[in-house]
Amino acid sequence: MPRWLPLPSIPYPPEKVGYWGPITSTLNWCEEDYYATVYSAEIVNALTNLMFMWLGVKGIRNCRRYGHDSIFSVAYCGYLVVGAGSFLFHSTLKYPMQLVDELSMIYTTCLMCYASFSYSRSFTVRLALAVFLTGLAVFITLYYHYLQDPVFHQNAYALLTTVVVLRSMFTMEATLRPSLRHSTEADRLMRQRQGLPVPSKERQSYENERDLKILRSMWFMVAYGLSMFLGGFAIWNLDNHFCSTLRVWRRTIGLPWGIALEGHGWWHLMTGMGAYLYIIWGIWLRHCLNNQQEEYYLWWPHFWNFPEIIRKGSGENTIQDTEQAKKSR
């Protein structure tokens, strides 16, 4: 331990022969293999996936508890499989586990794509969309298995994610921005002249203010989630490009402090949070599309908490929940 680091530490153990045998994956990350235990090839990269698994279970339970649409329960199942697959991949560095890890990311994003584009569509359109996305997922699976090129998977995942996020942004603005959904005073008067149902001026003003408040919270969530994704991606790239230097630094400062320099582990934590925020955003947006802003609210007292969409009057609200509900009215 260098003298300028007064904290106690222990030296990194040497790499061992792994329980899972020879490495067959096409990727191997910067964390040294089997240094902590023979049962986990990359223990930090494996354990950081426990957050995925915990949040996946939490999300499934919340969907059942608060009556969120079933498509989001399926999405949380996919999110859980991503975490479990990544845990097994980093524990074993076996090619089949690599496929479970990487392809489950594609499948979960396809589910969110369906949720984003299928709302209020006819049965024919929803069926065509489901067939298209299933075919796309099968094509990516077979072509990736043929190429075995991680860059193809990364580009496919990035493209799908970009499409889904941009679509959700458009839907959010079109649904909640008063000037885009014809909820201004001029639109109200026009509907009145045409003999169409018109809410009172006070009611319209209240709804506009409510939805703008929701919109601001959603944009903060989007910005925060994207920052987590991009920050994790930047750390992951630093981990790839400066791996040899980072390994020297980790062995210099010793355990447990060297764990903080495991860049791929940070990628798991940050993208896990970003993906969780995206599903929460999707749930809240779906309730707004269903005109249920009065029935559900966002519980997120601090940015370091894991937010939830909660049904008002569910009987399970804490004092903090009640206060949050008052603020959202």
268 assigned to a ligand binding site: yes
With beta carbons less than 8 A apart as the criterion, state whether 11 and 3 touch: no
90 assigned to a ligand binding site: yes
pLDDT in tens, 12-39: 998 888 999 899 999 899 999 999 999 9
Please report the DSSP string for 164-199 in residue order: HHHHHHHHHHHHH-TTTTT-SHHHHHHHHHTT----
236 assigned to a ligand binding site: no
User: Average pLDDT, stretch 249-270?
Assistant: 94
At the topology level, CATH places domain 43-328 in Rhopdopsin 7-helix transmembrane proteins (1.20.1070)
pLDDT in tens, 68-118: 999 999 999 999 999 999 999 999 999 999 999 999 999 999 999 999 999
pTM over 0.75: yes
User: What's the rounded Cα separation, in Å, for the pair 27 and 207?
Assistant: 51
Burial (Cβ within 10 Å: 0-12, 13-18, ≥19) of residue 255: middle
31 assigned to a ligand binding site: yes
264 assigned to a ligand binding site: yes
User: Average pLDDT, stretch 57-72?
Assistant: 95
With beta carbons less than 8 A apart as the criterion, state whether 51 and 268 touch: yes
Q: What is the pLDDT of residue 187?
A: 64
User: Average pLDDT, stretch 295-318?
Assistant: 84
User: What's the rounded Cα separation, in Å, for the pair 42 and 52?
Assistant: 17
| Sheet strands (E) in the chain | 296-299, 308-311
For residue 131, give Cα distances in angstroms to 158, 161, 257, 310, 327.
21, 19, 49, 33, 42
Q: Tell me: cis bond preceding 256? Omega within 30 of 0 counts.
A: yes
Q: What is the pLDDT of residue 195?
A: 66
User: What's the rounded Cα separation, in Å, for the pair 73 and 129?
Assistant: 19
HSE, CB side, 13 Å, CA atoms: give it for residue 137.
20
302 assigned to a ligand binding site: no
